[in-house]
Amino acid sequence: MDQAAFMALALDQARMGFEEGGVPVGAVLVGAAGRLLGAGRNRRVQQGDPIAHGEMDCLRQAGRLRSYAGTTLFTTLTPCLMCAGTIVQFGIPRVVIGENRSFAGNEAFLRQRGVAVTVLDDPACHALMRRFQAERPAVWAEDIGA
């Protein structure tokens, strides 16, 4: 599995979200054979939907799966508790995170429940979030519940 290529797809989703005026968090779900199952981005602002986080949108785009065994979720930012809970609920065994410096997420929660977590500390993911936080601080505060 090419982690860099799948993270690039998630980052493309995040950039689309930013250009749409939303929160730049993107995610892709990849099957065991390396097949892209779904891609999404945070659409809270665009859709006025408080739970339309990047990971949630990605899972909606992937549609109903009988099993998430062998899948990997790539996300540009460490998941919030809602998204982490969904990852655990669906039994997604692996999460690859672009960066975790902009938001202290729930990696320990995931690991404690058997999810393999990899943090790439991707400079492009971090730069996009820093730009967003600087340009749209009110939207960021709303997104993280501050």
- Rounded-to-integer distance, Cα 59 and Cα 5, Å: 19
Sequence-ordered list of residues with C-beta below 8 angstroms from that of 107, at least 6 positions apart, any chain: 78, 97, 100, 117, 119
Instruction: Report the alpha-carbon distance of residue 106 to residue 144 in Å, rounded.
Output: 13
d(CA 22, CA 15): 9
Q: Which residues are catalytic?
A: 55
> Do 9 and 28 meet the contact criterion of CB atoms below 8 Å apart?
yes
